[in-house]
Chains A and B, each alone.
Chain A
């Protein structure tokens, strides 16, 4: 069971297959874990391992996962993005594609903001977003569904700290995709494929707005997960998208070589 460690951070990850790297961010909100992928509409570790080096990790401090680290109250989104980029560095991967479910949507946008030159393409699957009609949804979901269990397993973290963390994560960024502005999306040339959803935490309107704004975005059929046939059709689109955007010189350029 491999771990990436940096200071107090310890991230459990898994890999499957070989080829150009595909970072997978599981859904499940702040309880995003590799194990959770088994309950997703599809499991990228299975679906794409024949063509790609698929890498997935438990989110830092996810209940049910094995990744641990400090609660970075003042930089919640960036704390997680540090882990994603740090894991890629640890694996000597410079350029990669990324596929994320749910909370993976905001994480992908943050990756694009912070390391746009490393992310070759992004697939946002049932992405999370802000819904004005339910403005406190994420804070409430996590203060009930994530924080108490975390505080129980980590006596160094209090509910007050968890509340401040969630306040900074969701209430102070209460718009759009939480992590980036519409202006950022408008100028982001990275190819994007969005597979929309429309449950309270995954607003269809926000997913489509990002597709309309991003100059290189595509969107799947919708709905795409009402039955197994739809999922298969959507996966063919994802397969085409990933293949079309895999760099010709397939890539695993080690960081050292890329830096030269």
Chain B
């Protein structure tokens, strides 16, 4: 069971297959784990291992996962993004593609903001977003479904800290659009994006479509795409074609080689 370690951070990850790297960010909000992929509409570790080096990790602090580290109250989104980029560094991967479910949507945008030169293409699947008519949804969901269990497991973390962490993550200026980037950022982001929309409270269709309309290189799958196994297969054909056509011709560059 492999781990990436950096200071107090310890991230559990898994790999499957070989080829150009595809980072997978599971859904499940702040309880995003590799194990959770088994309950997703499809499991990228299974679906794409024949063509790509698929890498997935438990999110730091996720319930049921094995990744641990400090609660970075002042920079919640960026701390997770540190882990994603740190894991790629640890594996000697410079450029990669990324596919993320739910909370993976905001994480993907943050990766594009912080390391746009490393992310070759991205697939936000049923992406999370801010819903004006339910402004406190993500904060409250995590105050109930993530914070208490974390505090029980980690006596060094108090609910007051969790509250601040979640407020910085989902409230105030963050409470808009995809949480992590502005519409202006999306408008100028030339990275190819394929969005598989959803429309449950935490995954607003309108925000998914808005990002597709704004991003100059975005595509959208059929919708709905997960009501039946055949719909999922049809969507996966689109994803495969998208990943295939955006994979750089000279596959994965090791960090050392890329730095030269």
Instruction: From B137-145, B147-155, B219-227, give the one contacting chain A.
Output: B219-227
Bound CA–CA A236/B190 (angstroms): 13
Contact of A218 among B230, B234, B244 (CB under 8 A): B234
Contact with A along B221-251 (1 / 0, CB 8 A): 1110000001000100110111011000000
Q: Does A220 contact B (CB under 8 A)?
A: yes
Bound CA–CA A220/B230 (angstroms): 15
Given contact pairs A236-B217, A240-B242, A221 touches B234 in the complex (Cβ within 8 A): no
Residues on A with C-beta less than 8 A from B218 are: 233, 236
Output the least CB separation between A110 and chain B (Å).
23
Q: Does B212 contact A (CB under 8 A)?
A: yes
Number of interface residues of B (CB under 8 A): 18
Bound CA–CA A237/B240 (angstroms): 12
Q: How many A-B residue pairs have CB under 8 A?
A: 45
Q: Does A186 contact B (CB under 8 A)?
A: no
Q: Does B213 contact A (CB under 8 A)?
A: yes
Within 8 A of B (CB), among A210-240: 211-212, 216-222, 229, 233, 236-237, 240
Q: Does the CB pair A217–B220 fall under 8 Å?
A: no
Given contact pairs A233-B212, A236-B219, A244 touches B245 in the complex (Cβ within 8 A): yes
Bound CA–CA A216/B240 (angstroms): 12
Secondary structure call for the B interface: helix
Q: Which residue of A lies closest to B218 (CB)?
A: A233
Given contact pairs A233-B212, A240-B242, A217 touches B217 in the complex (Cβ within 8 A): no
Secondary structure call for the A interface: helix
Bound CA–CA A253/B212 (angstroms): 38
Q: Does the CB pair B223–A222 fall under 8 Å?
A: yes
Bound CA–CA A177/B218 (angstroms): 31
Residues on A with C-beta less than 8 A from B242 are: 240
Bound CA–CA A48/B241 (angstroms): 18
Residues on A with C-beta less than 8 A from B219 are: 233, 236-237, 240
Residues on B with C-beta less than 8 A from A236 are: 217-219
Residues on B with C-beta less than 8 A from A218 are: 222, 234, 237-238, 241
Q: Which residue of A lies closest to B197 (CB)?
A: A221
Q: Which residue of B lies closest to A216 (CB)?
A: B237
Contact of B245 among A219, A220, A240 (CB under 8 A): A240
Residues on A with C-beta less than 8 A from B212 are: 233
Contact of B234 among A219, A222, A244, A245 (CB under 8 A): A219
Q: Does A3 contact B (CB under 8 A)?
A: no
Q: Does A90 contact B (CB under 8 A)?
A: no
Bound CA–CA A222/B221 (angstroms): 9
Residues on B with C-beta less than 8 A from A244 are: 240-241, 244-245
Bound CA–CA A29/B222 (angstroms): 27
Q: Does the CB pair B213–A229 fall under 8 Å?
A: yes
Residues on A with C-beta less than 8 A from B240 are: 244
Contact of B222 among A216, A220, A229 (CB under 8 A): A220
Q: Which residue of B lies closest to A219 (CB)?
A: B222
Q: Which residue of A lies closest to B244 (CB)?
A: A244
Q: Does the CB pair B230–A221 fall under 8 Å?
A: no
Bound CA–CA A225/B212 (angstroms): 15
Residues on B with C-beta less than 8 A from A75 are: none
Bound CA–CA A217/B219 (angstroms): 17
Bound CA–CA A222/B212 (angstroms): 14
Q: Does A243 contact B (CB under 8 A)?
A: yes
Bound CA–CA A212/B235 (angstroms): 11
Contact with B along A184-198 (1 / 0, CB 8 A): 000000010000000
Most buried by B among A191, A217, A219: A219
Q: Which residue of A lies closest to B230 (CB)?
A: A212
Q: Does A241 contact B (CB under 8 A)?
A: yes
Bound CA–CA A216/B238 (angstroms): 10
Q: Which residue of B lies closest to A221 (CB)?
A: B220
Residues on B with C-beta less than 8 A from A237 are: 219-220, 238
Residues on A with C-beta less than 8 A from B230 are: 212
Closest 6 CB pairs of A and B: A244-B241, A221-B220, A219-B222, A243-B245, A236-B219, A218-B237
Q: A221-B222, A233-B218, A240-B241 are in contact. List 12 more A-B contacts (CB 8 A).
A: A211-B234, A216-B237, A218-B234, A218-B241, A219-B234, A220-B222, A233-B212, A233-B213, A233-B220, A236-B217, A243-B245, A244-B241
Interchain residue pairs with CB less than 8 A apart (9): A212-B230, A217-B237, A221-B221, A233-B220, A236-B217, A237-B220, A240-B242, A240-B245, A244-B240
